[in-house]
Amino acid sequence: MAKRIKIKEKDPKRTEISTLGEFGLIKHLTKKFELKNASSKLGIGDDAAVIDNKGDLTVVSTDLLIEGIHFDLVYTPLKHLGYKSVVVNLSDIYAMNAIPQQITYSIGVSNRFSVEALNELYEGIRIACDKYTVDLVGGDTTSSLKGLIISVTAVGVGDKKSIVRRNTAKVGDSICVTGDLGGAYLGLQLLEREKEIFLDDSKIQPDFEKQDFLIRRFLMPEAKQEIIDFFHAEKIIPTAMIDISDGLSSELLHICQDSGVGGNIYDVKIPIENETKQLAFKFDLDPTTCALNGGEEYELLFTIKEKDLEKIAERPDITIIGMITEKKDGIKLVGNTGNKHDITAQGWDPIKE
């Protein structure tokens, strides 16, 4: 294990939020945000935002994120949190095969947070909005009694004929996944380990074992914009689609159960990066289990018709991992020797925790 280094304590400039007031704070935080989409007719500064979608369908998704439940500020820089909170929400819009265009962003903050801290959060939001060409058009800014509370709503636009739901997979369709899986979960394990050490002595700099890739997978995931752009360019309409926020198992169950079908996925086909495998072994974890149950990946799980298989063959970032079967055949993980296991949801369930 690499050497841990003691770091000096910082003394950053701190401006109390109360010095700005609600409207002053909103103005301050959002002054760098410019409207980029023609459909964004009116942004922050009135009772509501106004969007012009010219006859296309409007797609809306919302997330509520609570400190201590969804994020841990001990190892999540506020800029990363701002970025990730936007991306996670956009991911839901892409998972409908639609294009996100606007977000509203609301925060509840306790007096623990300074204006400088919120600047960091909004810098992350701004970077995400720029990267995904999304406009911040509204929100609500208020106090909280404890911790940071974030609510993000994304609005997107989709063509009537190409919106993709999760309940429309058909027997014989191929099951595909983008990117690779399990990385975010192992990044989180690494961060949790370093947090324990940090809580013992906050002056010891964390040792991430050069696993930037895995840390990044957890702290700064990306929504799969390029996949949706590719679908649109190639006129591929998946038969069903969902983003992987709660783990592959949980999402596959959603698609199969909602569609009234079964499915086989093949252990050996599940895309797992070498870094992920190595760190899994180090933590005494099974990489496939990490890939099946580790959430917060924001990769896309989708099913496509046989005729479209050729179109995706050349993409290194799309892997065919199985096939939709009859409902009576169940939802199974097929091992190397052809042995089959029932897939059950062990994904992240914030209510059950």
Find the binding residues for a copy of itself in span 242-271 (CB under 8 A): 242-243, 258
Report the C-alpha gap between 270 and 305 in whole angstroms.
Answer: 19
Binding to a copy of itself by residue 36, rule CB under 8 A? no
Listed ranges 38-46, 73-81, 202-210, 289-297: which one lies at the site for a copy of itself (CB under 8 A): 38-46
Choice from 167, 278, 289, 346 touching a copy of itself (CB under 8 A): 167
Binding to a copy of itself by residue 5, rule CB under 8 A? no
Q: Which residue's CB is nearer to a copy of itself, number 103 or number 214?
A: 103
Binding to a copy of itself by residue 147, rule CB under 8 A? yes
First to last CA, the chain: 32
> How many other C-beta atoms are found inside a 10 Å radius of the C-beta of residue 163?
16
Phi and psi at residue 308, to the nearest 5°: -95, -5
Report the C-alpha gap between 279 and 296 in whole angstroms.
Answer: 18
Least gap, CB of 60 to a copy of itself (angstroms): 5
Q: What is the DSSP string of 60-121?
A: EEEEEEEBTTTB-TTTS-HHHHHHHHHHHHHHHHHTTT-EEEEEEEEEEE-TT-BHHHHHHH
Listed ranges 14-22, 223-231, 273-281, 309-317: which one lies at the site for a copy of itself (CB under 8 A): 14-22
Listed ranges 2-10, 145-153, 286-294, 307-315: which one lies at the site for a copy of itself (CB under 8 A): 145-153
Q: Under a CB-based contact definition with an 8 Å cutoff, are residues 303 and 169 in contact?
A: yes
Site for a copy of itself in 59-118 (CB under 8 A): 59-64, 66-70, 92-93, 95-96, 98, 102, 104, 106-108
Closest CA to 101 of 136, 50, 127, 128: 136
Listed ranges 174-182, 190-198, 225-233, 344-352: which one lies at the site for a copy of itself (CB under 8 A): 344-352
CA angle, 72 then 186 then 264, to 5°: 120
Least gap, CB of 254 to a copy of itself (angstroms): 8
Choice from 160, 161, 307, 328 touching a copy of itself (CB under 8 A): 160
Site for a copy of itself in 123-142 (CB under 8 A): 137-142
Binding to a copy of itself by residue 158, rule CB under 8 A? yes
Choice from 14, 45, 229, 260 touching a copy of itself (CB under 8 A): 45
Q: What is the DSSP string of 228-284?
A: HHHHHHHT---SEEEE-SS-HHHHHHHHHHHHT-EEEEEGGGS---HHHHHHHHHTT
Look at residue 317 and give its three-state secondary structure: coil
Least gap, CB of 142 to a copy of itself (angstroms): 4
Q: Under a CB-based contact definition with an 8 Å cutoff, are residues 183 and 304 in contact?
A: no
Least gap, CB of 23 to a copy of itself (angstroms): 8
- The partner residues of 301 in beta bridges, in order of sequence, read 177, 242
Q: Which residue's CB is nearer to a copy of itself, number 145 or number 268?
A: 145
Least gap, CB of 58 to a copy of itself (angstroms): 4
Least gap, CB of 239 to a copy of itself (angstroms): 14
Listed ranges 47-55, 79-87, 174-182, 280-288: which one lies at the site for a copy of itself (CB under 8 A): 47-55
